[in-house]
Structure 1
Amino acid sequence: MVLVRDVVELVEVTRVYPGGVRALDGVSVGFEKGTFTAVMGPSGSGKSTLLHCAAGLDLPTGGQVVLAGQDIGTLREPKLTAVRRAHVGFVFQSFNLVDSLSVWDNVLLPQRLAGTRPDQRWARELLERVGLAGRERARPGQLSGGQQQRVALARALAGRPEVIFGDEPTGALDLATGRAVLGLLRRFVDEVGATIVMVTHDPAAAAWADRVVFLADGRLAGELRSPSAEQVSRRMTELTR
């Protein structure tokens, strides 16, 4: 029997903000290696807070977050930053590229910041996979939104992280470009064994995932395996009634 390892595990995680706002309320969920998970829920359900706690960008008020075998709630800076840089990649809605750097330097930036030697062969393969071979010297301002998001995806994968977190990665893209980026995410899970956790509001985007985890009022509200857009849409309608 082969045991599937959770790359990230949240155990009874609670996050309370000043004023008593309880964004997460005893959430326990794991994200398996080599899988694509979408996180969905109504506005204010705790989606982004879950993502930020899982990634070590925010620390829980209670419970545990285990990332790559480490309880990150026990870590303090700069150790926490080092763990994030070693094990986590990010893809944001706003791309978050450095305008003054070339495509090539943007892709290699996280590894250089971490003080590790960039794997240039892997970086070139990634740019080929995302369809940007030959654009290494271009600046972000010379690229379309979809191309910038492809650079962000290559950057997230360049250090071969344990997990990639996406916060509405297709939210700023048109329908066709969004589908292309989702197709790339799916390919990297299937062909490279990447682990992806993506917050989205779009049932069609969630349907690219292996699993959809739903939140409501800071608590888990079920999940779907091998979801269709129609199934996700129905579940979201139920949660917002």
Structure 2
Amino acid sequence: MDMQNTIGYPARDAEVVELVDVVKTYPDGAGVRALDGVSVAFGRGTFSAVMGPSGSGKSTLLHCAAGLDRPDSGRVMLAGREIGTLREPALTKERRRRVGFVFQSYNLLDALSVWHNVLLPQRLAGVRPDQRWAREVIARVGLKGRENDRPGQLSGGQKQRVALARALAARPEVIFADEPTGALDLASGREVLGLLREVVDSLGTAVVMVTHDPAAAAWADRVVFLADGRMVDELADPTAEKVAERMMAVSAR
């Protein structure tokens, strides 16, 4: 297989997310391919970081993998089911069943309490929330006793913990995290990364995280690198120093 285009599949567990020859072009007049024939898979119970220079296709990969955006061609498999061709609302239903999201901007509703923010996606999906599990995940992220607080009463790190609890409340098979520590101070960022690591190790949930930070990527099991919309390298058992070296090499391509 061509390393310019394909990264080897993780051997630890069965794939929960798989992209096969995915192409995505945005009609901005330039005709540049955000993803150019990308094939990559992410296993159950693994923590993967996605890195690359600005404009390399990181967020587009995340959006296509999560079913937030549709590829022009290629296949996107979620838990063994191809989702790239699903119509709405079937795609929305599949995404809500299997996927959780954590974004840099938290995406919390200021008018709602922690408790109601955590339960909101399930209620919007018409699913009866598992309140016992919701209480457990709120406790797991260190917010027990803060259920009635509103986002304005929380620090940035605490808001991101709410976002993680919200993602976990539906028992997803994979969590997609887009720069989850980008708006946090160093200590809060480490706490959130530790929680993501715990989600993988204790719950078996897959985590796929886009980041620009080598120190954040070092929490992952492996790092995959993009450049110009193509997979160009990967690193197992990363350290911050090794990730930084690889990023320099990728950026110099």
The interval holding the TM-score normalised by the smaller chain is over 0.9
Q: How many residues align?
A: 240
- Superposition deviation, residue 3 in structure 1: 8.0
- Superposition deviation, residue 239 in structure 1: 1.2
Q: Is the 8 A contact 1:39 1:200 kept in 2?
A: yes
Letter in 2 for 1:189: V
Letter in 1 for 2:98: H
Letter in 1 for 2:26: Y
User: Please, which of 20, 26, 37 is the counterpart of residue 11 of structure 1?
Assistant: 20
Letter in 2 for 1:120: Q
CA deviations 1:35-78 (Å, max 9, x no partner) are 00000000000000000000000000110001122111111111
User: Please, which of 142, 148, 170 is the counterpart of residue 137 of structure 1?
Assistant: 148
Letter in 2 for 1:175: L
CA deviations 1:170-221 (Å, max 9, x no partner) are 0000011100100010011111111100000000000000010100110001
5+ residue gaps, structure 2, are 1-10
User: Please, which of 244, 248, 253 is the counterpart of residue 233 of structure 1?
Assistant: 244
Aligned to 1:190, what secondary structure does the other structure show?
helix
Q: Is the 8 A contact 2:13 2:45 kept in 1?
A: no
Q: Percent of aligned pairs with the same residue?
A: 74
5+ residue gaps, structure 1, are none
CA distance in 2 between partners of 1:41 and 1:54 (Å): 17
Letter in 2 for 1:11: V
Give the structure 2 partner of residue 202 of structure 1.
213
Aligned to 2:88, what secondary structure does the other structure show?
coil
Q: Is the 8 A contact 1:96 1:152 kept in 2?
A: yes
Give the structure 1 partner of residue 189 of structure 2.
178
Q: Is the 8 A contact 1:86 1:114 kept in 2?
A: no
**Does residue 191 of the first structure (1) align with residue 196 of the second (2)?**
no
Give the structure 2 partner of residue 42 of structure 1.
53
CA distance in 1 between partners of 2:43 and 2:154 (Å): 34
Q: Counterparts in 2 of 1:33-72, with a 5 A limit?
A: 33-72=44-83
CA deviations 1:16-41 (Å, max 9, x no partner) are 11021200001000000010000000
Aligned to 1:182, what secondary structure does the other structure show?
helix
Aligned to 2:101, what secondary structure does the other structure show?
strand
User: Please, which of 140, 158, 166 is the counterpart of residue 147 of structure 1?
Assistant: 158
Q: Is the 8 A contact 2:47 2:220 kept in 1?
A: yes
Q: Counterparts in 2 of 1:63-102, with a 5 A limit?
A: 63-102=74-113
Aligned to 1:86, what secondary structure does the other structure show?
helix
Q: Is the 8 A contact 2:12 2:43 kept in 1?
A: no
CA distance in 1 between partners of 2:116 and 2:161 (Å): 14
Letter in 1 for 2:188: T
Aligned to 1:74, what secondary structure does the other structure show?
coil
Q: Is the 8 A contact 1:40 1:201 kept in 2?
A: yes
Letter in 2 for 1:167: D
CA distance in 2 between partners of 1:3 and 1:183 (Å): 21
**Does residue 168 of the first structure (1) align with residue 179 of the second (2)?**
yes
Q: Is the 8 A contact 2:67 2:95 kept in 1?
A: yes
TM-score (norm 1): 0.98
User: Please, which of 190, 214, 219 is the counterpart of residue 225 of structure 2?
Assistant: 214
CA RMSD of aligned residues (A): 1.0
CA distance in 1 between partners of 2:139 and 2:175 (Å): 19
